[in-house]
C-alpha cells in the first residue's frame, strides 16, 4: 500500500516522486486533539461497538451474524481498536522523542510496524461501506420490507429497524467515523476503493452460499431470479465508486477547514532531512496527504494561494 508523495527528490534536473507508506503519525495523530485524547475516543468507540454487539446478540440471537450490517458494524469496531492502538503507539513514541513519522521494527514488533497500513486500509473500507449500509437500509431495504408485505410482517420488520441497536448500526456509525476522520491525520488513498469493493464482494459470495444452503436470500435485492437483479448488483457496485468519491470530497473539505492547523503542525523534518528534499516539498506532501488539492503552499511567506 503505497502512494505517490508530493515530496520530490531531485536527481539532476528532474524531480522524481517516490512512493511512501502510511506513517504512524498519520494513523495515530491528530490536528485538533492531544494524541492520548484521540486514543481515548477511539478506544471508547471500540468498546461501545462491542457492547452494542453483545446487546444485539442477546436480544436477537446469533442469526444476525449472517447479515452485512453485522459484518460492517464489527469491522468498524476493529478499525477503532486498531486506530486506538496506533494512537497509543504514536503517543509513546512521541514521549520517548523518537522520529515518529516511521517507527522502525527494532522499536516495536513487526505487527506494530505494519499497523499504519492496516489502520489506513480499515478506515477506507469502513468509511465507504458505512455510507452504503446507511443509505441502502433507509432508502431501499426498509421500504421494500415494510411496504410490500403483510401488515403483520411489516410490523415485525419495523421492530427490527426502529430500535436503539439499529439506529447505531444504520446511522450513528457514520457519525462516529466522520468525527474520527476530522480529528485524525489519516491520508486519502484513491486506489483503496478496490479494498472496499472486495469486502462487499466477499459478502455477496457468502450471500450466494447461504442461498444455496437455505434456499432464501439474506436481502431481497440480491435475488438473482428477479429481472432487475443486474441493475441491483450493478447499482451496488457503482455505489462504492460514488461514495468513495464523496469520501475524497470529505478529505478535501477537511483540508480547507483545517488548513491552519495542518500548516502549523506539518512536519517538514519527516522528509526534509533527506538529501535534496526541500521544506516546501515536505509541506506539500503533508498538503496532499490530507486531501487539500485546491490549495498551494507559499513557504516563503507562509501564505495560501488558490490554484
Contact between 88 and 39 (Cβ < 8 Å): yes
Does the pLDDT value for residue 263 go beyond 80?
A: no
pLDDT at 7: 39
Cβ atoms < 10 Å from Cβ of 117: 15
pLDDT at 192: 83
pLDDT at 250: 85
CA distance 166 to 168: 5
Binning pLDDT at 50, 70 and 90, where does residue 141 land? confident
Highest mean pLDDT among 15-29, 70-84, 187-201, 207-221: 70-84
Mean per-residue pLDDT, 51-74: 93
Binning pLDDT at 50, 70 and 90, where does residue 260 land? low
CA distance 215 to 45: 37
pLDDT at 110: 62
Q: Each residue of 92-108: pLDDT tens digit?
A: 887 754 544 444 444 44
Mean per-residue pLDDT, 152-166: 90
User: Average pLDDT of the chain?
Assistant: 77
CA distance 83 to 185: 11
Helices (H), 96-172: 110-136, 142-147, 151-161, 164-167
Q: Is 271 exposed, middle or buried (0-12, 13-18, 19+ CB in 10 A)?
A: buried
pTM: 0.75
pLDDT at 217: 87
pLDDT at 170: 95
Mean per-residue pLDDT, 269-297: 39
CA distance 181 to 163: 27
What DSSP designation does 290 have?
Answer: T
CA distance 47 to 49: 5
Contact between 120 and 290 (Cβ < 8 Å): no
Mean per-residue pLDDT, 173-198: 89
Does the pLDDT value for residue 69 go beyond 50?
A: yes
Of 117-126, 174-183, 236-245, the poorest mean pLDDT is in: 236-245
pLDDT at 112: 65
Distance between the two ends of the chain, CA-based, in angstroms?
29
**What phi and psi values does residue 275 have, to the nearest 5 degrees?**
-60, 130
Mean per-residue pLDDT, 143-153: 84
CA distance 103 to 118: 15
Contact between 115 and 129 (Cβ < 8 Å): no
Looking at the chain, the whole-number percentage of residues with pLDDT higher than 90 is 34
Amino acid at each position: 500500500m503505497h502512494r505517490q508523495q508530493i515530496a520530490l527528490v531531485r536527481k539532476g534536473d528532474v524531480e522524481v516522486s517516490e512512493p511512501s507508506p502510511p506513517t504512524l503519525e498519520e494513523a495515530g495523530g491528530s490536528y485538533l486533539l492531544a494524541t492520548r485524547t484521540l486514543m481515548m475516543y477511539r478506544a471508547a468507540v471500540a468498546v461501545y461497538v462491542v457492547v452494542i454487539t453483545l446487546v444485539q446478540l442477546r436480544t436477537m440471537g446469533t442469526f444476525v451474524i449472517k447479515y452485512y450490517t453485522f459484518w460492517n458494524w464489527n469491522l468498524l469496531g476493529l478499525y477503532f481498536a486498531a486506530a486506538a492502538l496506533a494512537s497509543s503507539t504514536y503517543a509513546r513514541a512521541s514521549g520517548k522523542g523518537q522520529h515518529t513519522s516511521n517507527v522502525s521494527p527494532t522499536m516495536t514488533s513487526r505487527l506494530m510496524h505494519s499497523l499504519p497500513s492496516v489502520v489506513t486500509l480499515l478506515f477506507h473500507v469502513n468509511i465507504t461501506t458505512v455510507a452504503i449500509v446507511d443509505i441502502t437500509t433507509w432508502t431501499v431495504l426498509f421500504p421494500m420490507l415494510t411496504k410490500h408485505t403483510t401488515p403483520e410482517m411489516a410490523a415485525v420488520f419495523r421492530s427490527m429497524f426502529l430500535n436503539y441497536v439499529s439506529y447505531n448500526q444504520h446511522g450513528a456509525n457514520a457519525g462516529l467515523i466522520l468525527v474520527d476522520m476530522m480529528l485524525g491525520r489519516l491520508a486519502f488513498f484513491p486506489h483503496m476503493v478496490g479494498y472496499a469493493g472486495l469486502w462487499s464482494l466477499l459478502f455477496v459470495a457468502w450471500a450466494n452460499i447461504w442461498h444455496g444452503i437455505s434456499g432464501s436470500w439474506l436481502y431481497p435485492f440480491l435475488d438473482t431470479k428477479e429481472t432487475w437483479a443486474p441493475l441491483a448488483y450493478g447499482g451496488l457496485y457503482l455505489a462504492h465508486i460514488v461514495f468513495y468519491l464523496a469520501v475524497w470530497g470529505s478529505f478535501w473539505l477537511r483540508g480547507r477547514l483545517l488548513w491552519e492547523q495542518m500548516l502549523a503542525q506539518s512536519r517538514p523534518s519527516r522528509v526534509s532531512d533527506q538529501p535534496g528534499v526541500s521544506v516546501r516539498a515536505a509541506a506539500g506532501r503533508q498538503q496532499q496527504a490530507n486531501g487539500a488539492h485546491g490549495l498551494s503552499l507559499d513557504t516563503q511567506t507562509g501564505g495560501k494561494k488558490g490554484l
